[in-house]
Amino acid sequence: METWQVILLGLLEGVTEFIPVSSTGHVLLAGHFLGFDSPGKVFEVLIQLGAILAILSIYFAKLWNIALALPTDPRARRFVTAILIAFLPAVVIGVSLHDFIKTVLFESPALICTSLIIGGVILLVVDRLPLKPRYTDAMDFPPKMAFAIGLCQCVAMIPGVSRSGATIVGSLLMGTDKRSAAEFSFFLAMPTMSGAFAYDLYKNWHGLSSSDTTAIAIGFVVSFFAAVVVVRWLLDYVSSHGFGLFAWWRIVVGILGLGGLYIVG
């Protein structure tokens, strides 16, 4: 692994993790064209720890206040319950299909490009629908809706779909505004990405070398700082401008990826 490749992939992970463009799809495609290959795609999963810690650092005060309020505040308990309920489908499906996802889906760059394009078109359509939000605060999402959002998140196990994109689109169609949809996606990312990180580390730690560990550490640091910048900017941006930029981003990257695969394989 060349250091510049590690830095580039870490930057790509941090920039794309919380916007609806599929960080995994971008990192896998970039790795394919760069000739970067980590055994079992462990690097691509484990550098997500940087993005996890970025969102935790930004929302630490809010998380702390929610934790303190749990014994006395029903709203705080309902919110935590909603996040856990939304997280459950990913646990069941992710563990059940882990090997298939890593050995088949993660190894299919054409599938990733196609998913990017289709997801971009869906995002464009949903962004332009005259939806009337019933929920404007992520703290108020009911458990039944949270479970449905969790099911939407599972579609993102197909690389190129985008975890944040799937949860945001699902939330919007179920009556949320854009800001609360993005914020709920951020909170749901914490247990989901932490679980994926822990499970992948458990499955592959014995195969990691010292050079792998160094590369993962560098990728983690780069993705952390990139994610901090993106998350601080994203909520205000989508509240004012929607998701059109990210939809076209997906479509352009998907088309360029298919063109690259046709030319160089």
Question: What pLDDT is attached to residue 40?
Answer: 59
Q: How far apart are CA 234 and CA 193, in angstroms?
A: 19
Residue identified by tokens 């169609």 is: 173
CA distance 31 to 38: 9
pLDDT digits (tens, 9 = 90+) for 6-46: 899 999 989 998 889 998 899 889 988 888 767 656 777 77
Helical (H) or strand (E) element with 68: helix 60-69
DSSP 105: G
146 vs 161: CA distance, rounded Å: 19
Q: What is the pLDDT of residue 207?
A: 67
d(CA 261, CA 154): 27
What does each C-alpha distance from 129 to 77, 122, 162, 252 come to in angstroms? Answer: 32, 11, 20, 22
Confidence of residue 215 (pLDDT cuts 50, 70, 90): confident
Pair of tokens at residue 130: 């005259």
pTM exceeds 0.85, yes or no: yes
Written as one string, the DSSP assignment of 152-214 is HHHGGGSTTS-HHHHHHHHHHHTTB-HHHHHHHHHHHHHHHHHHHHHHHHHHHGGG--HHHHH
CA dihedral 52, 201, 109, 8 (to 10 degrees): 50
User: What is the Cα–Cα distance from 106 to 246, expressed in whole angstroms?
Assistant: 22
> Could you tell me if 246 and 181 are in contact, meaning their C-beta atoms sit under 8 angstroms apart?
no
Instruction: Enumerate residues 6+ apart whose C-beta is below 8 A from 182.
Output: 18, 164, 168, 234, 235, 238
Share of the chain above pLDDT 90, in %: 61
Best CA proximity match to 241, nearest among 121, 141, 123, 103: 123
Give the pLDDT confidence score for residue 201 in this predicted structure: 79
Average pLDDT, the chain: 90
pLDDT in tens, 231-252: 888 878 887 888 999 999 999 9
C-alpha to C-alpha distance for 183 and 191, rounded to whole angstroms: 14
Give the model's pLDDT for residue 256: 96
Among 15, 22, 10, residue whose Cα is nearest residue 167: 22
